[in-house]
């Protein structure tokens, strides 16, 4: 097919009903990029012979080497069907789990997607993940079952077996879709029920409970994939063929004389053809007949493959002539039969026609966007559509119309930024020269050549005797001038070249975006709305009619920018555009200073930011990066900023220690990020640390049995009971620890005493806190605004319902005597006020609740009120870094059971008694502060003095209070600071009084392997502390699916090792799953006789938890208890060797 011109594409962009925005989604290696190649070759962009080998959309070098897609890239295709012309914006996305964030960015811009499934492997973990992502974004899927040639060539199935196998795959996919649909219906049902309950509470009367789940009434037939619906294509992209059953229905309706509509319904399913009666009958299996699909479709394909692969020339010719194809001599004589096969199949059943016509028939155009999807996009967080300002709600119509009129507001969503080499931009590309320019350049070259000759002649003359040369002088001067000019010209050329090189080396960022409404024009001014932008707040300051050109007051999370360049994305190429109407996917240049990863652009300030993208994979693999030469540090920092912008999933942090840390989704992702950093963004040599593995610290209930499974307390203790003595020596003076783990500690100035106990939280509660961290953060924000008496905008009812539900769940899970009233006594969550640890208060005379936002705010003044924030801060610090290896805590509940503060009167009396002593100390302290202005816990004591001297107290009570404050501040720093430190220490000792454990991050690992390599897979898993959860065999294949959990700490090099050990027959998919307690105690030493017998006195068999703990401590530069041989001497035998 001929290449379509850019002008034609621009014309098609204006016809919104003919646009299809689609992406290709699948598990890794199921043939997405090969299918994309076939579709691209139909437009003449690449040769059809190269389709599948070139992998045109994998433009990066490492993608070509590894053979997997790592980034989503877009291309626009032109497709003609009858008299209709379509513009198809196709986005190819990665299938590897590490790059699932790229899938999220692609799905957001599309209206439909093609799900590709391997006919042999069937539904894989990533297939389920992409179906879920498509479902969450409300986009319609169609299905391509690819690699059917493998059923013929590899598995050698008969057509009948292949039919059953394909049927099975369809059932599996529909089961996944059905599960998603059911969960949605049940959720909606639950929401309705809560609404009805609220109504029925007001209306009294008998209630009849409706037991139906609501699934019976809902129509879900359109959701499922079935060939007779026309949303399934059977294909082999590598051989270039594919078909939907409507193709064969048309073909056979002419031959057999049965209506195409009847054939469409019966070609797939339990129907067979009664040849005598020329009728289609039901129930093929019971009568032992061939189904129609096998008889009319699969048999033909199988016989074609058989003929070509066995080189049966007569049969091939017969098939070719009956199909009316023209096959070139080159293909038919080729040594590889696959080439011949490809030539026949790609003419008979071209895959591009089948797939693109299915896309045009079954997938919606941008005009068909559903109201549900629009509302979902516009509602950030827990806000409902009805709670948005009316101006914002009006924009829904603009979305639904998707109109390209000049009056329509422009709404664009940028899903990611991608880096492009500056040379690849259209205005930097070498363009073909015109005839005049060629002639001009020829003239210049001639002139330069003549000047060179003249210069050479001048040199020859100057070598002759001077007498002959005297008359040449005048001519020569002019020549030197010419040379000078020539030199200056050369210098200019060199500098311009250097500048050009510099520009070439720069990476340009292009925004990958879609226009949802209006027309985007080059040079247009537009608002950039950050993810936290709130139209309700800004509309008070701005009128909804104001534009980005006018001078505007400062609005948080909103800036103005100019769209410098608009590009048509054509795979590896970019084409310049002047304007882009609604419904199209495009690239926008010049946004790198305004957009970090994703953003919403609009000409209307009433436009809300779109809901953030939902990523399947969480970044977990951390490495510290530093340049080999310290002088390259600025380049590295700049490079990391660019990398952060170019990758949707990577995180770049600078830790407290000053390390630059990269957080990535997995090993392959990490490798790609490091390559990009070295070669594209920083362009410096870097050294990378070993992966920084995250751990969590927690406590457990005291164990019932010891390390040799003996019941604790029953066995004989050995004479050397060194452990308990060591424990006693650990705790410094002035700290009391009860037998049940209550720690009592006083502040350094003895003015306050705290008693704290630590308890492990039930697992369900920890999980609940982790899942609801965003909700806890929202609660915290609401509480602070209530405390500061700010008039918050009306708290959303939906959020309040969620908070109530969260509280109820906590109450259900925290039951029993020791958790009585615990939920109402929650003082704070931590670390960072939204973590999986809880602080409770359990002492008299204090009330404060995290549930203030539910309307039970208690305003009360007590002696604790001034300092309660210090206690919370101490708790936050303690939960942020635990005592074992300074890692955050998880699943721990601290209860403050006693908090005594001495009254001001007592403080004054003590101050008058010890006035001499204190005065001396105070005087010395004053001197110290003036010299060093020492700061304690971030609060400077100098400021304390200034405050006390500036304020002029009126009443004697105030004088006494200030005097007390100064006294407190003088000796040991501010009292609030002392409380923070004391609370932190108390939490630490309370933790150490209980059995401590480390928690490791765990991956779920799914491995597909054949039976012969199962043993090796198990060997690798057990070597790396993995635990197999289940193993099942795929029906109809010899492939096993193994599900296991594996610690992140042991996962590095795991995929490579499995591939090596199984000769590439098994490949794992690792996804971060959860945190799990490591059962062994890191501080364990043998204390009973049985343990001594079993482990020996040193017990130096590897303790996994201790190994991890010491590794982290070493990395952080903390003290590690290790026996190091300082003076190693060779052992001497005193008696001589005889």
**pTM, rounded to two decimals:** 0.79
Pairwise CA distance, residues 776 & 757, whole Å: 23
Angle between helices 797-813 and 763-771 (to 10 degrees): 170
Please list the residues that pair with 889 across neighbouring strands. Answer: 697
Q: Give me the pLDDT at residue 943, please.
A: 36
Q: 123-150 pLDDT, tens per residue?
A: 988 899 899 999 988 899 999 999 999 9
Phi, psi of 127 (to 5 degrees): -60, -45
Bond preceding residue 831 cis, omega within 30 of 0:
yes
Q: Give me the pLDDT at residue 206, please.
A: 46
Find out whether 786 and 853 touch, Cβ atoms under 8 Å. yes
Pairwise CA distance, residues 141 & 130, whole Å: 10
DSSP state letter for 366: G
Find out whether 812 and 790 touch, Cβ atoms under 8 Å. no
State which H helix or E strand residue 745 sits in: strand 742-746
Nearest to 96 by CA among 74, 70, 65: 70
Using alpha carbons only, give the angle 155, 161, 166 rounded to the nearest 5 degrees. Answer: 90
Residue spans of alpha helices (H) in 116-244 = 125-136, 149-153, 159-202
Q: Give me the pLDDT at residue 1023, please.
A: 92
Q: Map residue 699 onto helix, strand or coil.
A: strand
DSSP β-ladder status, 892-901 and 837-841: parallel
State which H helix or E strand residue 939 sits in: strand 939-940
Torsion on CA atoms 677, 683, 687, 689, rounded to nearest 10: -10
Using alpha carbons only, give the angle 74, 75, 79 rounded to the nearest 5 degrees. Answer: 140
Find out whether 134 and 141 touch, Cβ atoms under 8 Å. yes
Residues 6+ apart with CB under 8 A from 379: 385, 388, 608, 611
DSSP state letter for 251: H
SS3 string of 670-685? HHHHHHHHHHHHCCCC
Region of 1117 (left: φ > 0; alpha: ψ -120 to 50; beta: rest) is: left
Q: Give 369's Cβ-side CA count (13 Å radius).
A: 29
Query: E strands within 241-365?
Result: 241-243, 271-274, 279-282
Nearest to 1049 by CA among 1030, 1033, 1072: 1072
Low-confidence stretches of the chain (pLDDT < 70) are 1-3, 194-220, 277, 284-287, 381-382, 460, 462-505, 543-553, 706-731, 789-796, 855-863, 903-972, 1096-1102, 1125-1138
Pairwise CA distance, residues 326 & 332, whole Å: 11
Encoding tokens for residue 45?
A: 């962009």
Neighbours of 477 (CB within 10 A): 9
SS3 string of 958-1021? HHHHHHHHHHHHHHHCCHHHHHHHHHHHHHHHHHHCCCEEEEEEEEEEEEEEEHHHHHHHHHHH
Encoding tokens for residue 348?
A: 């008979």
Nearest to 352 by CA among 570, 53, 1, 40: 40
Q: Give 329's Cβ-side CA count (13 Å radius).
A: 0
């Amino acid at each position: 097919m001929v290449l379509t011109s850019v002008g034609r594409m621009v014309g098609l962009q204006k016809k919104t009903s003919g646009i299809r925005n689609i992406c290709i989604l699948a598990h890794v290696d199921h043939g997405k990029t090969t299918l994309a190649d076939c579709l691209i070759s139909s437009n003449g962009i690449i040769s059809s012979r190269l389709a599948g080998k070139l992998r045109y959309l994998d433009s990066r070098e490492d993608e070509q080497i590894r053979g997997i897609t790592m980034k989503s890239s877009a291309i626009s295709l032109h497709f003609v069907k009858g008299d209709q012309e379509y513009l198809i914006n196709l986005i190819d996305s990665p299938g590897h789990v590490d790059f699932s964030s790229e899938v999220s960015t692609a799905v957001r811009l599309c209206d439909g997607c093609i799900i590709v499934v391997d006919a042999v492997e069937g539904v894989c973990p990533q297939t389920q993940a992409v179906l879920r992502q498509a479902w969450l974004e409300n986009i319609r899927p169609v299905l391509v079952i690819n690699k059917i040639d493998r059923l013929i060539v590899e598995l050698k199935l008969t057509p009948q077996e292949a039919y059953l196998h394909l049927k099975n795959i369809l059932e599996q996919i529909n089961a996944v879709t059905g599960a998603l649909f059911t969960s949605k219906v049940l959720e909606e049902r639950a929401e309705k029920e809560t609404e009805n309950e609220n109504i029925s509470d007001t209306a009294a009367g008998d209630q009849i409970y409706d037991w139906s789940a609501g699934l019976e009434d809902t129509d879900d037939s359109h959701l499922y994939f079935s060939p007779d619906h026309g949303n399934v294509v059977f294909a082999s992209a590598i051989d270039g063929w594919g078909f939907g059953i409507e193709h064969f229905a048309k073909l056979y309706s002419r031959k057999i004389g049965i209506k195409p509509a009847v054939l469409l319904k019966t070609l797939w399913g339990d129907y067979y053809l009664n040849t005598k009666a020329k009728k289609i009958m039901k129930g093929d299996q019971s009568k032992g007949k061939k189904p129609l699909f096998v008889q009319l479709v699969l048999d033909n394909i199988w016989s074609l493959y058989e003929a070509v692969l066995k080189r049966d020339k007569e049969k091939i010719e017969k098939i070719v002539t009956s199909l009316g194809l023209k096959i070139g001599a080159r293909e038919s004589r080729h040594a590889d039969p696959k080439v011949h096969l490809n030539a026949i199949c790609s003419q008979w059943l071209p895959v591009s026609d089948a797939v693109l016509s299915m896309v045009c028939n079954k997938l919606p155009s941008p005009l068909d966007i559903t109201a549900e999807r629009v509302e979902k996009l516009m509602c950030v967080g827990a806000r409902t559509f009805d709670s948005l300002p009316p101006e914002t709600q009006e924009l829904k119509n603009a979305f639904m119309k998707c109109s390209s009129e000049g009056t329509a507001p422009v709404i664009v969503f940028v899903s990611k930024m991608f880096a492009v080499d500056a040379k690849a931009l259209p205005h930097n590309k070498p363009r073909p020269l015109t005839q005049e320019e060629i002639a001009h350049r020829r003239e210049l070259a001639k002139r330069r050549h003549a000047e060179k000759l003249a210069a050479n002649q001048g040199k020859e003359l100057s070598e002759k005797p001077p007498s002959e040369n005297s008359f040449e002088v005048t001519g020569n001067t002019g020549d030197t001038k010419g040379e000078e000019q020539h030199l200056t010209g050369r210098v200019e050329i060199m500098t311009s070249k250097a500048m050009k090189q510099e520009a070439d080396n720069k990476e340009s960022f292009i925004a990958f975006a879609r226009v949802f409404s209006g027309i985007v024009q080059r040079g247009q001014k537009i608002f950039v709305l950050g993810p936290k932008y709130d139209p309700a707040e800004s509309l008070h300051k701005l009128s909804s009619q104001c534009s980005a050109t006018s001078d505007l007051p400062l609005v948080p999370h909103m800036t103005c920018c100019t769209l410098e360049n608009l590009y048509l994305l054509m795979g590896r190429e970019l084409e310049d555009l002047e304007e882009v109407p609604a419904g199209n996917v495009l690239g926008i240049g010049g946004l790198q200073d305004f957009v970090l990863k994703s953003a919403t652009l609009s000409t209307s300030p009433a436009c809300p930011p779109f809901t953030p993208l939902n990523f399947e994979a969480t970044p977990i693999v951390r490495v510290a990066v530093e340049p080999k030469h310290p002088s390259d540090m600025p380049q590295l920092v700049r490079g990391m900023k660019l990398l952060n912008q170019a990758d949707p999933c990577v995180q770049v942090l600078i830790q407290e220690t000053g390390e630059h840390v990269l957080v990535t989704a997995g090993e392959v992702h990490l490798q790609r990020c490091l390559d990009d950093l070295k070669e594209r963004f920083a362009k410096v040599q870097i050294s990378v640390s070993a992966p920084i593995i995250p751990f969590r610290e927690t406590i457990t209930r005291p164990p019932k049995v010891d390390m040799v499974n003996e019941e604790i307390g029953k066995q004989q203790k050995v004479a050397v009971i060194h452990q308990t003595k060591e424990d006693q020596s650990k705790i410094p003076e002035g700290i009391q620890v009860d037998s049940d783990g209550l720690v009592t500690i006083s502040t350094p100035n003895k003015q306050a005493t705290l008693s704290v106990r630590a308890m492990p939280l039930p697992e369900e509660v920890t999980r609940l806190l982790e899942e609801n961290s965003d909700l806890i953060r929202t609660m915290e924000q609401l509480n602070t605004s209530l405390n500061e008496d700010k008039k918050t905008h009306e708290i959303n009812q939906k959020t309040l319902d969620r908070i109530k539900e969260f509280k109820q769940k906590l109450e259900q899970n925290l039951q029993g005597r020791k958790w009585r009233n615990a939920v109402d006594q929650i003082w704070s969550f931590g670390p960072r006020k939204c973590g999986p640890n809880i602080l409770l208060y359990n002492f008299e005379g204090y009330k404060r609740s995290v549930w203030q936002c539910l309307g039970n705010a208690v305003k009360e003044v007590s002696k604790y009120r001034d300092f309660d924030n210090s206690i919370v801060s101490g708790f936050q610090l303690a939960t942020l870094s635990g005592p074992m290896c300074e890692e955050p805590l998880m699943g721990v509940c601290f209860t403050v059971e006693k908090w005594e503060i001495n009254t001001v009167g007592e403080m004054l009396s003590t101050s008058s008694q010890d006035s001499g002593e204190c005065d001396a100390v105070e005087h010395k302290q004053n001197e110290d502060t003036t010299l060093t202005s020492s700061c304690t816990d971030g609060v400077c004591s100098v400021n304390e003095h200034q405050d006390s001297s500036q304020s002029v107290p009126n009443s004697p009570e105030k004088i006494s209070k200030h005097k007390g404050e100064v006294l407190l501040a003088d000796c040991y720093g501010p009292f609030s600071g002392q409380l923070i430190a004391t609370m932190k220490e108390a939490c630490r000792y309370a933790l150490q009084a209980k059995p401590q454990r480390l928690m490791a991050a765990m991956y779920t690992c799914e491995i597909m392997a054949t039976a012969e390599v199962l043993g090796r897979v198990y060997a690798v898993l057990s070597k790396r502390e993995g635990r197999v959860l289940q193993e099942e065999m795929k029906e109809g294949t010899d492939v096993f699916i193994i599900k296991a959990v594996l610690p992140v700490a042991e996962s590095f090099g795991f995929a490579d090792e499995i591939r090596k050990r199984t000769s590439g027959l098994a490949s794992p998919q690792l996804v971060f799953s959860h945190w799990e307690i490591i059962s062994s105690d890191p501080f364990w030493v043998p204390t009973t006789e049985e343990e001594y017998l079993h482990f020996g006195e040193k017990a130096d068999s590897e303790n996994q938890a201790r190994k991890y703990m010491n590794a982290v401590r070493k990395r952080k530069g903390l003290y590690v208890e290790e026996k190091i041989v300082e003076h190693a001497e060779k052992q001497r035998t005193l008696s001589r060797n005889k």
